[in-house]
């Protein structure tokens, strides 16, 4: 299972990076591969390439504002939530995204 995503909050200084850390830690614990891009006051860090997004199973957009490069996620199943959700229940959010990804996969097979 490979997860990609973006974190971005209103001011771009605190919630963005806390959400990133929480989701990374939660995914790691559950044994999933995760790559999160952050878009904050300092700009984009840890950027995702189109190839990475295309090869992932699901995208989590933990965002409170419009993000740059939204078009990259056109062809992937995505969950969009406020950063608060990622900070409050990171494990639940990862589990939910995996569930969605799995149901999509079995859906395409059938």
Partner 1 sequence: MDVKSSINPKTIVVNSNAQSKDEVLKEIVHYLYEAGNVNDESEFLKAVYKRESQGVTGIGNGVAIPHGQSSSVIDPGVAIVTLKHPIAWESLDDQKIKIVVLFAVSDNSEGAKLHLQLLAQFAKKLGNDDVLESLKSAEDVQEITEAFE
Distance between CA atoms of 29 and 84, rounded to whole angstroms? 20
- How many residues make contact with partner 1 (CB under 8 A)? 22
Q: Does 62 bind partner 1 (CB under 8 A)?
A: no
Query: Smallest gap, in angstroms, from Cβ of residue 109 to partner 1?
Result: 36
3 close to 57: Cβ distance less than 8 angstroms? yes
* Cβ-proximal residues to 1 (8 Å cutoff; 6+ apart), any chain: 32, 33, 57, 58, 98, 101
Q: Please state, in angstroms and as integers, the Cα–Cα distance from residue 1 to each residue in 14, 18, 60, 84, 105, following that order.
A: 28, 23, 13, 24, 11
Which of 17, 58, 59, 62 touches partner 1 (CB under 8 A)? 17
Neighbours of 7 (CB within 10 A): 31
Stretch touching partner 1 by CB under 8 A, among 11-19, 49-57, 67-75, 99-107? 11-19
Q: Does 84 bind partner 1 (CB under 8 A)?
A: yes
Task: Please choose, out of 5-13, 47-55, 72-80, 98-106, the segment that lies near partner 1 by the rule CB under 8 A.
Answer: 5-13
**7-15, 51-59, 73-81, 100-108 -> range binding partner 1 (CB under 8 A):** 7-15
Footprint of partner 1 on this chain (CB under 8 A)?
10-11, 13-22, 25, 38, 40-42, 45, 64, 84, 87-88
């Amino acid at each position: 299972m490979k997860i990609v995503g973006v974190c971005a909050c209103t001011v771009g200084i605190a919630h963005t990076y806390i959400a990133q850390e929480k989701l990374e830690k939660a995914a790691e614990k559950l044994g999933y591969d995760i790559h999160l891009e952050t878009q904050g006051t300092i700009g984009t860090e840890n950027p995702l390439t189109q190839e990475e997004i295309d090869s992932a199973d699901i995208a989590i957009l933990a965002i409170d504002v419009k993000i740059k490069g939204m078009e990259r996620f056109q062809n992937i199943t995505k969950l969009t939530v406020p950063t608060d959700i990622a900070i409050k229940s990171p494990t639940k959010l990862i589990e939910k995204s995996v569930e969605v990804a799995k149901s999509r996969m079995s859906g395409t097979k059938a």
